[in-house]
Structure 1
Amino acid sequence: MKWFSRLATMGVAVAAAAFSGQAFAQQQMASQMPHDGQAVYRQFCAACHDNPEQTRSPSKANLEAMSYQTLEFALTQGKMQAQGASLTPETRGQLINYLTGKTKKAAPTWTTAMACTGGRLAVDTKAAPTIATFGFDARNTRTLSAKQTGLTRAQLSKLDLAWAIGFPDVTMMRAQPAVIGKSVFLPVAEAGALYAFDVSDPARPCVKWVYNTPSGAPLRTSPAYGVIADGRAVLAFSGLDSTVHVVDVKSGKPLWTKSVAVYSYSMTTGTPRVLKDRIIVPVSQFEITVGGDNKVQCCTNHGVVLSLDPATGAQQWRYDTMPDATPVKADRGDGKPLLGPSGAPIWNSPVVDEKRGLIYFGTGEANSPPAHHNTDALIAIRLKDGTEAWSMQATANDIFTIGCGPNPRPDRLNCVKETVFRDVDFGASVVLAKLKNGRELVLAGQKSGTLWALEPETGKVVWRRDIGSGGPMGGIHWGIAFENDLVYAGITNVGRPIPGQADFDPKLQIGMYAVDANTGDFKWHYTARPDCAGERGKKAPRCERVYGFSGAPTVIDGTVMQGSLDGRLFALDGKTGEQLWTYDTLRPFETLNGVAAKGGAFDAVSIVGVNGLLLAGSGYGMFGQAEGNVLLAFRPKP
């Protein structure tokens, strides 16, 4: 084995020399810059983060507002670990300090001053949960009543700001809370924390407890609530590191944590579903962001669904969207193989149909050939064992990897030309709708701008409605809502006609659409328009183009509540689409907890109602959108 030892020694020496040379180059550049970290940023980060819209990454301004903890995690364990591997601990620290001005994670102290006392510390688990999962209820309808929220249509048309709470070193409010009675359980992703608030006194919220992730990793999903077989009431949610956390709702103490990172780029985004005898966890993956790099052996990851024991986290079954990747081309051009199939990330939150014993969800694009039939698809699997019941592919041959393009250069070894190259996932969670005539349908929204209605038992298409051609950011992005035979779908971008793809009315506009769930016909449309007047045009990035409805809508007492990408809140009449109220959050706010805060883009999910308050998290510092770090509470005017 001496020959192996010599080769290993030579390899270490070469690697060390290369690393030393890189470190020396970083030091030379740094000596010519006002801040040591500026050179590191220019060498390793600027190409993407100075062009956030094209690369779908946070802008430099977004990075500057993040915490030390968030950036260090991204560079050592998260999406940027490949880039971070080129940095020494010293240069990594210089980079983070250059961006944030910080040298370590700041310890938040505001929760102590806002701590609940006396009877407000308790969580009333006898109260009915109003928001137990992504879609609020078991059918994922995203609909709440006046009784559940203490808010009527008339009150939602005249709201005032009641209070604001800021979260330090945070750039986005990407998750909605679970709500049980008058207790609100809000995860704040970059803080790596879930906060339990009491709002029994709507004017004076207080903090019951705080759960911090053991590793300090950021969180990612919204929480799900349920009572498991042994009688314990729990919350389940997941982190950016693909760790599932299950905690006691009364105390915030963990029952267990479990990594569900089954592949190298696994990620959790969809909210879990808590049942008495299992917790259903969708697992996505982000190989799409790295597969275009020739250094990456592409592509090997795909989406899965796991059923976990709610008391222990032990795996009960696993569903794979496709078989593991194998070589599909022996030589991609450099002697290495191209691997496939891959893709089908599961970004959305599943709906469980206990009557039929099925779980419904949607998937995303392929990352390498062949484009498996479970990519860009709606799928039903059996609750008891995870076997596939049916699958309906909405868009075929959508092989998409960032950096490739529809006509990639020959030196892009992982890229292919035989693709529609659209990236039109089902990012929006499906709805199990019950119509007034008793019929049930699976409803789903796709980033292509297409609404689908399927038969729950077979997956047969009942109708489809194309609201444009969408794009990688939607179309229909984060969600849809359903009430009284109407489907509500926000549109981020209408897109343009694409040869060979579905036709649509060229007069369609960005905004909110109400569609008849029986037929797929339009009932009404609200057109969103940019507001770039005065200083607002400077505060809202790309104001004239980025103003659509990307986040999932919330329906309260027949009123559609929706946030826009340029930071405005809207209340629309669910029957007519009439605008009832609007509020601009793109500004600084004075907060109850004394933390400096400002509003930004509305994306993902963040709008709920509880005890006469409308709660909305403002800020989404990704893709060059306006960052923000504030939870806003609105109350009806007297």
Structure 2
Amino acid sequence: MLTFSCAGPLAAQVVPDAATLYQRHCASCHDGGNERAPSHEALRTMSAERVLAAMETGSMITMANNRSAAERRLIAEFLSGKTFSNDLVTKPSPQAMCPATGADFDPASGPQWTGWGANTSNNRFQDTAAAGIAAADVPRLQLKWAFGFPGDLQSHAQAAIAGGRVFVGSWGGKVYSLSAASGCIHWFFEAAAAVRSAVSIGRIGAGSTARYAAFFGDGTATAYAVDATTGTLLWKTKVDDFPVARVTGSPRFHNGRLYVPLASGEEAAGALPIYECCRFRGSIVALDAATGKQIWKTYTIEEPKPTKKNKVGIQLWGPSGAPVWSSPTIDEKNNALLVTTGNNYSDPPSSMSDAFVAMDLDTGKILWARQMTAADAYTAACRLPDKTNCADSNGPDFDFSSPPILVTLPDGRRALVAGQKSGIVHAIDPDRRGETLWQVRVAQGGTMGGIQWGSAADGSNVYVAVSDIGRIMLTYSNNTDADPKRGGGIVALRLESGERIWYAPPPGCGNRRRCSPAQSAAVSAIPGVVFSGSVDGHMRAYSTTDGKILWDFDTIRSYQTVNSVPGQGGSLDGPGAAIGGGMVFFNSGYPTAGGMPGNVLLAFSVDGK
């Protein structure tokens, strides 16, 4: 077994030289006498292809999945001392492009699922007419086409549907506009870094200058608007200058403005004892959707100040953190933007971490906040042997990565519902400053959830998938693998009371490698059916009546893709299914925290037609 270590977070796609990459990410193990990491001399006896295979499909996946395709190839050539026989090609071939028609893109020409939650309420629910699929059709879903992301090890940006097209970002930084019917490429756009956010579609301008734009954000905290018809850049705006700031949650388009949530990678970076932890501040930025100019920016935390020095003499700062990982929800009745926040990174803990927060849509003024877990300051150091930069409060890392869902209850009251990594589902009253309506525990909770990327709600119930990934520390790395026997399941709760209607346990991993039964991915629903993906590689459809599995597709396989890129399925985590126009689209491939790599977007229809 070939094992070596090249870990570390990917920021922007500026590729250092090979020697720098090796020293920064690999030398500590390969030159440090680690018995599980072959020496540089031993690796020079291998081909570049074999070293790359270890990083992409072998024992090295956990450590290498945060390196870009170009970086992995540079490292492989440096370690082996040999070059690849074939160049890496990521530009789509002419054969993958759609025939030119000259027709403008019109989102009104078909059903839509844009942004993260399908609508401004973030309920991840599509009615039968827009879905084009009834509950009785679901057992007949078959693969219609697969699209491959070249050079990528993960497929972690949710698809958006509008006007007969599918819009999707990628780890490699490309954003694609595809034909929903065939998967051919209308256009592609190169962002500066990985695009994890779902694409939102909105109309900007007026009169002869009016057009539809596609909005998204990337791993360098840059927001973009491109022409939805052609992919031409309209504007891009750097919404935060902090070095590891990023846009993970999907920007929300509403009434001519774009609301962009800001998160960061400082929870991981802050684990190093020599790092001045921590100074990132979560925020929402409101931009003019036509120009990209900032209208307001509201932070979820006050300006960090020097606090004390750690045991190796490095200055520490606080408070910090409270990132916004998910897409905002719009409350038109109260003219409010509703978000959930993450944990603090350093002491002192603040009052708006792990919280629901309401902001005025026009000004960004904070209207109210309701914290669900206090004193939650956490960095990755808190789970590592060297806890130098773990805050004294040593919080449980119970942030929200699920967006709030705004629903109307049968009695006319409204509720804001979200699951937390604590394993608790909360329902609060948005008309009474976040007053608690009910709280129900459905999972054990943990640093990977609990409840991770989001739930779905129809008029009666909220459907909550359980993550509860068990993290197994690796003795030769700061990374973790997943426990194949822990996590998973899905539960239905009554919206008005939190009463449990049913629970469906996870089927289990069996003997599959790099497997977890955890159901961390966002949930999606249509009348009678709820879709939930699993780290075990399966997408399953459950009856909303009793939780019975109606359809089960195992994505772990190779695919002949419509763009002729070698395709491989993997774990399902992060994004959920997007449903519309008689089709279901979802990603496969998510090696983080012990999952299986993959690089495909899969499209399903009834009988594959």
TM alignment of 1:40-439, pairs within 5 A: 59-60=62-63, 62=65, 67-68=69-70, 94-95=77-78, 105-110=88-93, 112-119=94-101, 122-127=104-109, 130-190=112-172, 192-199=173-180, 202=181, 204-213=182-191, 215=192, 217-230=193-206, 231-329=210-308, 331-405=309-383, 412-419=387-394, 421-439=395-413
Q: Report the alpha carbon displacement of residue 93 of structure 1 after superposing the two structures with TM.
A: 7.8
Separation in structure 1 between the aligned mates of residue 368 and residue 407 of structure 2, nearest angstrom:
18
Give the one of 581, 599, 614 matched to 2:584.
Answer: 614
Shift, 1:103, TM fit: 8.8
Distance 1:415 1:228, change over 3 A: same
Return the letter of the residue paired with 2:135. Answer: R
The answer as to whether partners of 2:202 and 2:212 remain within 8 angstroms in 1 is yes
Whether contact under 8 Å (1:509, 1:527) holds in the other structure is no
Which whole-Å CA distance do the structure 1 matches of 2:144 and 2:402 have between them? 31
C-alpha displacement at 1:98, in angstroms?
Answer: 8.1
Contact 1:179 1:185 in 2 (8 A): yes
Q: 2:435 matched to which residue of 1?
A: 460
What is the SS of the residue equivalent to 1:367? coil
State, as a whole percentage, how many aligned pairs show the same letter: 30
In 1, Cα distance between the equivalents of 2:80 and 2:95?
29
* Gap change, CA 1:103 and 1:157, over 3 Å in 2: closer
2:408 touches 2:414 (CA, 8 Å); kept in 1?
A: yes
| Counterpart selection for 2:543 from 551, 565, 573 | 573
Residues 392-425 of structure 1, C-alpha deviation per residue, up to 9 Å, x if partnerless?
111111111112349x76xx44333333x31111
1:124 Cα deviation after fit: 2.1
Q: State whether residues 467 and 494 of structure 1, in contact with CA within 8 Å, keep that contact through their aligned partners in structure 2.
A: no
Task: Name 1:502's counterpart in structure 2.
Answer: none
In structure 2, how many angstroms separate the alpha carbons of the residues matched to 1:146 and 1:116? Answer: 29
1:454-484 residue CA offsets vs partner (Å, 9 max, x unmatched) = 1113111111111133111111100011102
- Return the offset for 1:189: 2.4
TM-score, scaled to structure 1: 0.80
Moved more, 179-188 or 113-122: 113-122
Cα distance in 1, alignment partners of residues 66 and 81 from structure 2:
10
Query: 1:210: how far off?
Result: 1.3
Shift of 1:319: 0.4
The residue identity in structure 2 corresponding to 1:280 is: Y
| Equivalent pair of 1:285/1:345 in contact (CA under 8 Å) | yes
User: What residue is the counterpart of 1:510 in the other structure?
Assistant: 488
1:209-243 deviations in Å (ceiling 9; x for gaps): 11122x4x222211111123533211110111111
Aligned partner of 2:8 in structure 1 is none
585 and 265 in structure 1: CA distance in 2 versus 1, 3 angstrom threshold: same
Deviations 1:26-83 (A, max 9, x none): 79967623339999xx9xx99xx9999xxxxx6146469x5116x59xxxxxxxxxxx
> What displacement does 1:323 show?
1.2
Q: Distance in 1 between matches of 2:83 and 2:376?
A: 38
Partner of 1:493 in structure 2? 468
The corresponding residue for 1:531 is 509
Question: For 1:613 and 1:585, how far apart are their aligned partners in 2?
Answer: 17
Helix, strand or coil: the match of 1:197? strand
Matched-pair contact (CA < 8 Å) for 1:362–1:376: yes
Q: Deviations over 1:233-290 (max 9, x none)?
A: 1111011111111111111111101112232321110000112331100001121102
- DSSP-derived class of the 2:137 partner: helix
Q: Does the 8 Å contact 1:97/1:103 carry over to 2?
A: no
Higher helix share: 1
How far apart, CA to CA, are the structure 1 residues paired with 2:179 and 2:319?
48
Cα distance in 1 for partners of 2:470, 2:501 equals: 21
Q: Answer yes or no: is the 8 Å Cα contact 2:506–2:517 preserved in 1.
A: yes
| Residue 451 of structure 2, aligned match among 445, 454, 476 | 476
Q: Which SS does the other structure have where 1:189 is aligned?
A: coil
Greater Rg, structure 1 or structure 2?
1
- Residue 404 of structure 1 aligns to a residue in which SS? helix
Question: Match of 2:115, as an amino acid?
Answer: T
1:5 aligns to what?
none
Give the match's secondary structure for 1:441: strand
Unaligned runs of 5+ in 1: 1-18, 53-57, 73-90, 497-507
Deviations 1:328-370 (A, max 9, x none): 22x4334443211011111111101122111111111111111
**222-231 or 274-283: which moved more?**
222-231
Contact 2:184 2:562 in 1 (8 A): no
Contact 1:486–1:515 (8 Å) recurs in 2: yes
AA in 1 matched with 2:490: M
- For 2:521 and 2:155, the matched residues in 1 are separated by 11
For 1:600, the aligned partner's letter is G
CA distance in 1, matches of 2:419, 2:83: 38
Residue by residue over 1:563-607, the C-alpha shift from the partner in whole angstroms, topping out at 9 and shown as x without a partner, is: 111101111111221111111111112223322211110011141
Query: Aligned partners of 1:482 and 1:99: how far apart in 2?
Result: 54
Give the drift of 1:551: 0.5
Q: Is the 8 A contact 2:307 2:316 kept in 1?
A: yes
Give the aligned CA root-mean-square deviation in angstroms: 3.2
The CA distance in 2 between the partners of 1:286 and 1:253, in whole Å, is: 29
Partner in structure 1 of residue 556 of structure 2: 586
Q: Quote the residue 1:450 is aligned against.
A: 424
Higher mean alpha-carbon deviation, 94-103 vs 291-300, is at: 94-103
Q: How far apart in 1 are the matches of 2:262 and 2:226?
A: 20
State the SS of the aligned residue for 2:136.
Answer: helix
Distance 1:31 1:144, change over 3 A: closer
Cα distance in 2 for residues equivalent to 1:487 and 1:100: 53
Q: What CA distance in whole angstroms lies between the structure 2 residues aligned with 1:396 and 1:99?
A: 53
In structure 1, C-alpha distance between the alignment counterparts of 2:314 and 2:43, rounded to whole Å: 43
Tell me the number of residue pairs that the alignment of Structure 1 and Structure 2 aligns. 556
Amino acid at match of 1:33: A
Indicate conservation of the 8 Å contact 2:273/2:312, yes or no: no
Does the aligned pair in 2 maintain the 1:174–1:606 contact within 8 Å? no
Q: Is the 8 A contact 1:491 1:511 kept in 2?
A: yes
Provide Cα deviations, 1:416-467, integer angstroms capped at 9, x if missing partner.
3333x31111001111111233221111110111111111131111111111
Q: Once the 2 structures are TM-superposed, how far is the Cα of residue 495 of structure 1 from its aligned partner? A: 8.0
Larger CA deviation: 179-188 vs 397-406: 397-406
Alpha carbons of structure 1 residues 104 and 401: separation in structure 2 relative to 1, 3 Å: farther
For the residues of structure 2 that align with 1:369 and 1:522, how far apart are their CA atoms? 37
Aligned CA distance change for structure 1 residues 509 and 51 (closer, same or farther; 3 Å):
closer
Cα 1:318–1:113 shift into 2, 3 Å: same
Contact persistence 2:184–2:563 (CA under 8 A): no
The alpha carbon displacement at 1:146 in A equals 2.1
- Opposite residue 491 of structure 2, the aligned amino acid is Y
- The 5-angstrom pairing of residues 542-561 of structure 1 reads 543=515, 546-561=516-531
What SS does the aligned partner of 1:288 have? Answer: helix
Contact 1:227 1:276 in 2 (8 A): no
Q: What are the superposed Cα offsets for residues 87-145 of structure 1, whole Å, 9 maximum, x if unpaired?
A: xxxx86845888995896524333x2132225486422333652122100111110012
- CA distance in structure 2 between the partners assigned to 1:520 and 1:26 by the alignment: 52
Whether the aligned pair in 2 keeps the contact of 1:510 and 1:527 (CA below 8 Å) is: yes
Q: State the AA in 2 paired with 1:197.
A: L
